[in-house]
Amino acid sequence: MRPQIRRCCAAVAALSVGLLVAGCGGNAAATDSEVVFLQPAAARGPDPYTASTARNTGTVPPPPPGPSAPSGPSSALLTLRTMSGSTPGLYGGTQSIGSCDVEQQISYLSGDQAKARAFAQGAGTSQADVAGFLRGLTPVVVRADTRVTNHGFRNGSAIGYQSVLQAGTAVLVDQNGAPRVRCACGNPLKPPVAVKGAVVHKGQPWPGYRPERVIVVEPATTIINNIVIVNIVDNAWIERRTGTDGEEDRPPEVLPPIDPDDVFTNPTGPSDSTSPGDDTQGSPTPTQTSPPVNPPAEPPVEPPATPDEVQTPPVAPDVPSQEGVDPSQPDLVIPSEPPAEPDTFQG
């Protein structure tokens, strides 16, 4: 069993992150801010850190179709779906087999100090703690096309870009359930950021790819000691202790109150929410909306109530919530003005 490393994410990623598409690569550099990469599960992608450490654990069947974009005039406005990292069945795997070879990943990086330094930069850890950081992660596969900020290795640095990982991609997740490393290329991952302006898609779309069905993972607000995943071989539930390769896998003592096939089709699940996306002119990718309007600091002055009257406070406008936004989060980009014709994903 790998050494257990207990760690907590520095911050909970904001739900109002934009969703675009990218693969194994970069930071939100200004020159790349309008590009989103589509990354097939097995492809290494641009600027990989290492050779693949993904294990052949079987083929992940595509998730059942989620809600489709509405047709007609209302199709210009979609909502982006976010799911908590603690959602049972968000990830898959094979009983007793980790989807990534963590020790091989450590070996690759320890043999190249420049890449280890850039990896630490992209992952948000210290170079001295790269091995401990990796051993504290859990190998799984994503069960839905998932938007992330990818970090490629270019000119000795971690270069961020927006990416969508195909369902079936092997990743390492942290104890908040957030993807942190893509195993096909060794690239560090972070939550996605908003793209403002016309989106340029790069990479190769896969059969069944639908932008409105891409999800974003919101890191759980509490530490996950045991992550509940779906066995990609027989569709059974597996409970995997975080920070292990699967050697302690077992059936959950309490089964989730949902079928594995319904994880991405239940619109009212407690882990689901919606958030704005990217500013895209006429594109099916998401759009960024403006921050919520604050309610008045004090209620308006009204004449005193008579004994027969009951005064009620004014109702604040119904505006989208920005709960969970951390202003210090370096990867979060929230434009100050909404696009003229917002397009967002369907949640």
Q: Read out DSSP for 127-165?
A: GGGHHHHHHTSEEEEESS-EEEEEEEEETTEEEEEEEEE
Question: What does the pLDDT look like over 299-344, one tens digit per residue?
Answer: 444 444 444 444 444 444 443 343 443 433 333 333 334 433 333 4
Query: DSSP letter at 44?
Result: -
Please determine, for residue 97, whether its predicted confidence score (pLDDT) is greater than 80.
Answer: yes
pLDDT for the residue numbered 286: 37
Write down the pLDDT at residue 201: 78
The pLDDT score that the predictor gives to residue 327 is: 37
Q: Is the pLDDT of residue 13 over 50?
A: no
8 Å CB contact between 25 and 38:
no
> In sequence order, what are the beta bridge partners of 38?
164, 203
High-pLDDT (> 70) share of the chain, %: 60
Q: Cα–Cα distance between 85 and 216 in angstroms, integer?
A: 9
Phi, psi of 38, rounded to the nearest 5 degrees? -95, 125
Task: Give yes or no for residue 188 having a pLDDT over 90.
Answer: yes
Q: What is the pLDDT of residues 240-272, one digit of tens each?
A: 999 999 999 999 999 999 999 999 987 544 455
pLDDT at residue 43 is higher than 70? yes
| Confidence (pLDDT) at 190 | 97
Cβ neighbours for 295, distance < 8 A, ≥ 6 positions apart: 316, 317
Strand, helix or coil for residue 179: strand
pLDDT over threshold 70, residue 8: no
Please give the pLDDT value at position 116: 98
- Asked whether 279 and 196 are in contact (CB, 8 A), the reply is yes
Would the pLDDT of 90 be above 50? yes
Nearest residue to 8 (alpha-carbon basis) of 162, 122, 137, 175: 175
Per-residue confidence (pLDDT) for residue 63, from 0 to 100: 53
Tokens of 215: 């999800």
Q: Which residue has the higher pLDDT, 19 or 148?
A: 148
CB–CB of 92/246 below 8 Å?
no
pLDDT for 36: 83
For the chain, percent helix, then strand, then coil, each to nearest 5?
10, 25, 65
Report pTM.
0.70
When pLDDT is cut at 50, 70 and 90, the band that residue 278 belongs to is low
Residues 6+ apart with CB under 8 A from 177: 84, 85, 86, 87, 90, 91, 217, 219, 220, 224, 227
